[in-house]
Chains A and B, each alone.
Chain A
């Protein structure tokens, strides 16, 4: 099957007073219809910039600095702002971490929900209202009529996130970009939202780019996972393989850092050191100053993508034996 989304050597950078900050550096991956692809990494690793880049929404002074992105065979990186605008909200939708800031506080939910329908789908007001009610029911909101008339502050966090999802689904997108959609929610509400999103992917063939820092969420929600570190995609694996045995030392470090239920009073093994600033990235592999397996080569040469096992990628010299890509 042709991929729905394809990134080739995709890069984005910010012009800063201290020089060019490469926020996303040579990221390549494919996303198939119906696939949930998790993008994991710590703050500042570039996962949000990457997702904004796909939509052509990187704020100044940032810009796409190299590579190409394709959606359904069309090149996103060659489109005009107008063409992108027609795509956003219609074929590619996005939901954010904090639904309160993503919703307009002085507009009733119904008006906001109907906006893309009137704009992209050319529905009239009555058709839009009927569609809104249908959408609110699909995302499991009880009393959809009352929700339409409500202002965002009258809804709970979980309800607001459901409204965001309803809004994203409005025009029948093929790709949903979800940036930390459950991070601000309590665990029981998080579980409901995750089940809703997984259901949508499975039932409608909706592809999802799921950005999160929570490895538990990844394990329970995603099919494949990409791990980002300091702007680079350092590992791509099917989720089972990743959790069974991570290939990249950074991924291994993340797994070992996790306190687990039932791991009482044992010492955790954190990744030593801290994430480098984007304006002062280490040479070679960005992870080398924190890596327990660092070799001479890691300090000098940027590791290419190695494929040590079928369907798995790691940008790490430890896997050089596995044959170069």
Chain B
């Protein structure tokens, strides 16, 4: 069976001008990613700002075209298969970080949630209304919320509405880009639980992107760590957190402040990258405590343990 979502050597290059008169230089936002997400699986994607995780997410839902490589859904190329274009909303949906800008402020929540159903004329009016009510119930919103507008909602309620809307057409894959990052802790926990309930109930597949490793570890079956446009480690969540192999993954884990004052964390954090690594070199070189001469040649991903991939000479 083909994977629900598959990236095959996906690259995305932007051309950026550093000044009004300077020439545009290529920036490799995504520099060759291979990743397959199985049906019913949750794959978490972590990395720091600018690592390319959001660009990857946007390519998974066809908001951005890859510069090269393929994005496949159920084995169909998102950009080259005619039938995908039509079916795309039924295949994949996205939940964004800020539910205020992703919901139309002039539409009631029921209208927003039902918009896709109306556009595709799914069933008749009554059945669509029933479906909207069912969707709202699934995300823990009550029927009286249906007629309200986004500004009348709290951040948590808005994100629930955005999730309900994403599920309207029964997509198999939901791509979530920092969906709980803008929420307060107590509300964040409510929304995380909803994601988990929906997965169990509907057998959803998630590509779950966050900079918060605790959130990702909580929800994911496998976790991919991204750095400078590449995957540097991919492993089952337990293995990644208990036995991280890549120096960058270790760096990230060591930097997370532990919510327990009894745990004294080691001082000293990884330096910021001040210069770029040379052409063809592992991009972590300027920050890496283990870097050596052989790192001038970036290694390919290799399987260090069953199902545990890492891209490092030293790991």
Contact = CB atoms under 8 A, between A and B. Distances in A.
Interface residues of chain B: helix, strand, loop or mixed (majority): helix
B172 to A, nearest CB: 20
Nearest to A193: B269
Contact of B272 (A158, A215, A262): A158
Contacts of B154: 274-275
A104 interface: no
A254 to B, nearest CB: 6
Contacts of A264: 217-218, 237-238
Contacts of A30: none
A158 B271 CA distance: 10
Contacts of B193: 267-268, 270
Contacts of B16: none
A283 interface: no
B196 A217 contact: no
A262 B184 contact: no
- Give the contact-size bracket for chain B: 35 or more
Contact of A239 (B156, B253, B261): B261
B192 A268 contact: yes
B141 interface: no
A257 B189 contact: yes
B189 A274 contact: no
B65 to A, nearest CB: 28
Interface string A242-271: 011000000001111111111111111111
A259 B217 contact: yes
Given A189-B272, A191-B269, A274-B187, A262 B241 contact: yes
Contacts of A215: 185, 259
Contacts of B20: none
Interface string B239-283: 001100000000111111111111101011110101000000000
Contacts of B186: 42, 253-254, 257, 270-271
Interface in A196-252: 213-221, 239-240, 243-244
B48 A186 contact: yes
A239 B255 CA distance: 20
A195 B187 CA distance: 29
B41 to A, nearest CB: 13
A80 interface: no
Contacts of A127: none
Given A188-B270, A195-B267, A275-B154, A216 B258 contact: yes
Interface residues of A, number: 50
A219 B259 contact: yes
Interface string A281-308: 0000000000000000000000000000
Nearest to A190: B255
B180 to A, nearest CB: 9
B187 A219 contact: no
Contact of B261 (A220, A255, A256, A258): A220
Interface stretch (B102-110, B111-119, B208-216): B208-216
Contacts of A219: 257-261, 263
Contact of B241 (A240, A244, A261): A261
Contact of A260 (B185, B188, B214, B242): B214
A142 B269 contact: no
Contact of B156 (A190, A213, A274): A274
Query: DSSP class of A's interface residues: helix, strand, loop or mixed?
Result: helix
B55 interface: no
A217 B217 CA distance: 19
B82 to A, nearest CB: 39
A192 interface: yes
A194 interface: yes
Nearest to B184: A42
Given A188-B255, A215-B259, A219-B259, A261 B213 contact: yes
A243 B218 CA distance: 21
B49 interface: yes
A42 to B, nearest CB: 4
B31 to A, nearest CB: 19
B254 to A, nearest CB: 8
Given A42-B186, A259-B214, A240 B255 contact: no
Nearest to B186: A271
Contacts of B263: 219
B214 A261 contact: yes
Contacts of B155: 43
A127 B257 CA distance: 39
Given A195-B269, A262-B217, A257 B261 contact: no
Contacts of A217: 257
B190 interface: yes
Nearest to B287: A188
Nearest to A225: B261
A187 B48 contact: yes
Contact of A194 (B211, B241, B257): B257
B170 interface: no
Given A191-B257, A216-B256, A274-B154, A240 B262 contact: yes
A213 B156 CA distance: 16
A187 B211 contact: yes
A86 B121 CA distance: 67
Nearest to A191: B269
A260 B256 CA distance: 11
Given A219-B261, A257-B188, 20 more contacts: A42-B184, A157-B49, A187-B211, A187-B213, A188-B272, A190-B255, A191-B269, A214-B257, A219-B257, A219-B260, A220-B257, A220-B258, A254-B185, A256-B189, A258-B185, A258-B259, A261-B256, A264-B238, A268-B189, A274-B187
27 contacts: A42-B185, A42-B186, A186-B211, A187-B211, A187-B255, A188-B252, A188-B269, A190-B257, A191-B254, A213-B185, A218-B259, A243-B261, A255-B259, A257-B185, A259-B214, A259-B215, A259-B217, A260-B259, A261-B217, A262-B242, A264-B217, A264-B238, A265-B218, A269-B189, A270-B190, A270-B193, A274-B156
